Chains A and B, each alone.
Chain A
Amino acid sequence: MKNTISRIGQSIKLPGLSFLMAFTITGIIIAVSDEKVMNKIGSPIEFLKSAGASVGNAYLALFQGSIYDNRLAKSNFFEGFYPFFETLVTATPLILTGLSVALAFKSGLFNIGAQGQFIFGAIGASYVGFRFELPVGIHILAAALAGIVLAAIWGGLVGFLKAKTGAHEVILTIMLNYIAAFFILWLLKTKTFLRPGRIDPIAPEVADSAKLPLLAGENFRIHAGIFIALAAALFVWWLLTKTTIGYKFRAVGANSQAARTAGISVPFVITSTMMICGALAGLGGAVHVLGSEHALNTDVAGSFGFDAITVALLGRAQPLGTVFAALLFGALHTGGRMMQSNTGVPLDIVVVTQGLIVLFIAAPMFVRYIFRLKKLNASTSLTSKGWNG
Chain B
Amino acid sequence: MRKIRSNVEKRRLQGVVIISTLASLSFLYFGILKPGKEATTFGFVLNNEWVIIKEWVISSQTGARIFSIISLLASAIAIAALKKGRSISVPVAVASFGILMSFLTWIASGKFIPFTGLLQGGLLLSIPLIFGAMSGLVCERSGVINIAIEGQLLASAFVSAVVASLTGLSWWGLLAAPFAGAAISFLLATFAIKFSVDQVILGFVINVLVIGLTDFLYKKLLIPFQNTWNSPPTFEVIPIPILSKIPVVGPILFTHTIVVYLMFVIVSGVTFTLYKTKWGLRTRAVGEHPTAADTVGIDVNKLRFRNVMIAGFIAGVGGAFYTVGSVGAFGKEMTAGAGFIALAALIFGKWSPIGALFAALLFGFATNLQSTLSIIGVAIPSEFMLMVPYIATIIAVTGLVGRVRAPAADGIPYRRGGAH
Q: Which residues from chain A sit less than 8 Å from chain B, CB to CB?
A: 29, 33, 110, 112, 161, 164-168, 170-172, 174-176, 178-179, 182-183, 185-186, 189, 306, 309-310, 313, 345-346, 348-356, 358-359, 362-363, 365-366, 369, 382-389
Q: A386-B410, A387-B145 are known contacts. Are A179 and B391 too (CB-CB below 8 A)? A: yes
Q: Mark B195-228, 1 if CB is under 8 A from A, else 0.
A: 1111111101110110111011101110000000
The CA-CA distance from A189 to B140 in the complex, in Å, is: 40
When C-beta atoms are compared, the residue in chain B nearest to A184 turns out to be: B383
Q: A355-B205, A363-B191, A382-B201 are known contacts. Are A179 and B145 too (CB-CB below 8 A)? A: no
Determine if B213 and A352 form an interchain contact, defined as CB atoms under 8 angstroms apart: yes
B interface bracket (residues with beta carbon within 8 Å of A): 35 or more
Does B85 sit within 8 A of A, measured CB to CB? no
Determine if B390 and A355 form an interchain contact, defined as CB atoms under 8 angstroms apart: no
What's the minimum C-beta distance from A389 to chain B, rounded to whole angstroms?
7
The CA-CA distance from A309 to B145 in the complex, in Å, is: 18
Determine if A186 and B398 form an interchain contact, defined as CB atoms under 8 angstroms apart: no
Determine if A178 and B390 form an interchain contact, defined as CB atoms under 8 angstroms apart: yes
Q: Could you show 12 A-B contacts with beta carbons less than 8 Å apart?
A: A110-B201, A167-B399, A182-B384, A349-B216, A353-B212, A355-B205, A356-B209, A359-B206, A365-B196, A366-B197, A382-B201, A387-B410
Which A residues touch B208, using CB under 8 A? 306, 310, 351, 354-355, 358
Which A residues touch B409, using CB under 8 A? 386
The CA-CA distance from A292 to B331 in the complex, in Å, is: 31
Which B residues touch A183, using CB under 8 A? 383, 387
Which B residues touch A176, using CB under 8 A? 390, 394
Q: State which of B196, B209, B411 has its C-beta within 8 Å of the C-beta of A385.
A: B411
Determine if B399 and A351 form an interchain contact, defined as CB atoms under 8 angstroms apart: no
Which B residues touch A352, using CB under 8 A? 209, 212-213, 216
Does B393 sit within 8 A of A, measured CB to CB? yes
What's the minimum C-beta distance from A313 to chain B, rounded to whole angstroms?
7
Q: A182-B386, A387-B406, A388-B408 are known contacts. Are A362 and B216 too (CB-CB below 8 A)? A: no
What's the minimum C-beta distance from B99 to chain A, rounded to whole angstroms?
22
When C-beta atoms are compared, the residue in chain B nearest to A384 turns out to be: B200
The CA-CA distance from A345 to B217 in the complex, in Å, is: 10
What's the minimum C-beta distance from A178 to chain B, rounded to whole angstroms?
5
Which A residues touch B278, using CB under 8 A? none
Determine if A358 and B205 form an interchain contact, defined as CB atoms under 8 angstroms apart: yes
Q: Mark B331-364, 1 if CB is under 8 A from A, else 0.
A: 0000001001001100100000000000000000
Does B405 sit within 8 A of A, measured CB to CB? yes
Which of B194, B205, B343, B381 is packed against the most chain A CB atoms within 10 Å? Answer: B205
Which A residues touch B140, using CB under 8 A? 387
What's the minimum C-beta distance from B372 to chain A, rounded to whole angstroms?
18
Known: A161-B398, A185-B383. 16 other contacts (CB 8 A): A33-B216, A33-B220, A33-B221, A165-B397, A178-B340, A178-B390, A346-B215, A351-B215, A353-B212, A354-B208, A355-B205, A355-B208, A358-B208, A359-B205, A359-B209, A385-B411
Does B412 sit within 8 A of A, measured CB to CB? yes
Which B residues touch A170, using CB under 8 A? 147, 200
Which B residues touch A358, using CB under 8 A? 205, 208
For the residues of B in contact with A, the DSSP-based class is helix
Determine if A362 and B344 form an interchain contact, defined as CB atoms under 8 angstroms apart: no
Q: State which of B221, B381, B394 has its C-beta within 8 Å of the C-beta of A172.
A: B394
Which B residues touch A172, using CB under 8 A? 394, 397-398
Leading 4 A-B pairs by shortest Cβ distance:
A386-B411, A351-B212, A387-B406, A348-B215
Determine if B201 and A355 form an interchain contact, defined as CB atoms under 8 angstroms apart: no
The CA-CA distance from A165 to B403 in the complex, in Å, is: 9
The CA-CA distance from A350 to B412 in the complex, in Å, is: 31
What's the minimum C-beta distance from B203 to chain A, rounded to whole angstroms?
10
What's the minimum C-beta distance from B342 to chain A, rounded to whole angstroms?
12
What's the minimum C-beta distance from B227 to chain A, rounded to whole angstroms?
16
The CA-CA distance from A166 to B394 in the complex, in Å, is: 12
Which A residues touch B200, using CB under 8 A? 110, 170, 384
The CA-CA distance from A345 to B26 in the complex, in Å, is: 57
Determine if B387 and A178 form an interchain contact, defined as CB atoms under 8 angstroms apart: yes
Which A residues touch B209, using CB under 8 A? 351-352, 355-356, 359
Which of A33, A174, A313 is packed against the most chain B CB atoms within 10 Å? Answer: A174
Determine if A171 and B347 form an interchain contact, defined as CB atoms under 8 angstroms apart: yes
What's the minimum C-beta distance from B355 to chain A, rounded to whole angstroms?
15
Q: A385-B411, A388-B408 are known contacts. Are A167 and B398 too (CB-CB below 8 A)? A: yes
What's the minimum C-beta distance from A138 to chain B, rounded to whole angstroms?
34
Which A residues touch B397, using CB under 8 A? 165, 167-168, 171-172
When C-beta atoms are compared, the residue in chain A nearest to B143 turns out to be: A386
Q: A362-B202, A387-B406 are known contacts. Are A174 and B340 too (CB-CB below 8 A)? A: yes
When C-beta atoms are compared, the residue in chain B nearest to A187 turns out to be: B383
Determine if B201 and A175 form an interchain contact, defined as CB atoms under 8 angstroms apart: no
The CA-CA distance from A302 to B394 in the complex, in Å, is: 24
What's the minimum C-beta distance from A35 to chain B, rounded to whole angstroms?
9
When C-beta atoms are compared, the residue in chain B nearest to A167 turns out to be: B397
Q: State which of B191, B216, B344, B394 has its C-beta within 8 Å of the C-beta of A348.
A: B216
Which A residues touch B386, using CB under 8 A? 182
Q: Mark B164-198, 1 if CB is under 8 A from A, else 0.
A: 00000000000000000000000000010011111
